[in-house]
């Protein structure tokens, strides 16, 4: 089953960004993930304002792959840098339609 990581990230400082992008790209691919969107070009169409500098969507082959990425020892220092240097929310969404007839 396909899963998607959906992130909202607003850096509070930029010093972590240059050292983050390359390793994150490599480790996402290592765990079978694929970036579908990484952009500052987004518009909220509904709901209470939820500001974020970046919206990121990653497709995963499984929930286990996404979780393996997040717990990969190589990724942990980069995760810590991102979370210390940004306001971030990360949701893992199963690629299914629970409301389909």
* Mean pLDDT by groups of 10 residues along the chain of 101 residues: 97 96 98 98 93 96 98 98 97 97 92
Task: Locate 75 and state its tokens.
Answer: 């990724």
Task: Map residue 85 onto helix, strand or coil.
Answer: coil
What size, in residues, is the chain?
A: 101
Cα distances from 6 to residues 38, 63, 74, in angstroms, run 10, 13, 21
Residue 57 is predicted with a pLDDT of 98
Residue 50 is predicted with a pLDDT of 86
CATH number of 3-41+53-94: 3.30.70.100
Looking at the DSSP bridge assignments, the partners of residue 94 are: 3
Contact indicator for 27, 95 with CB cutoff of 8 Å: no
Short-list 71, 53, 51, 54, CA closest to 63: 71
Residue 96 is predicted with a pLDDT of 96
Residue 15 is predicted with a pLDDT of 96
Residue 40 is predicted with a pLDDT of 96
């Amino acid at each position: 089953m396909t899963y998607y990581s959906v992130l909202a990230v607003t850096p509070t400082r930029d010093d972590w960004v240059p050292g983050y992008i390359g390793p994150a790209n490599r480790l996402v691919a290592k765990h079978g993930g694929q970036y579908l969107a990484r952009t500052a070009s987004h518009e909220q169409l509904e709901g209470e304002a939820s500001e974020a500098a970046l919206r990121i969507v990653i497709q995963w082959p499984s929930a286990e792959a996404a979780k393996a990425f997040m717990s990969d020892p190589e990724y942990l220092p980069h995760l810590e840098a991102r979370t210390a240097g940004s306001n971030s929310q990360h949701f893992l969404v199963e690629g299914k339609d629970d409301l389909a007839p």
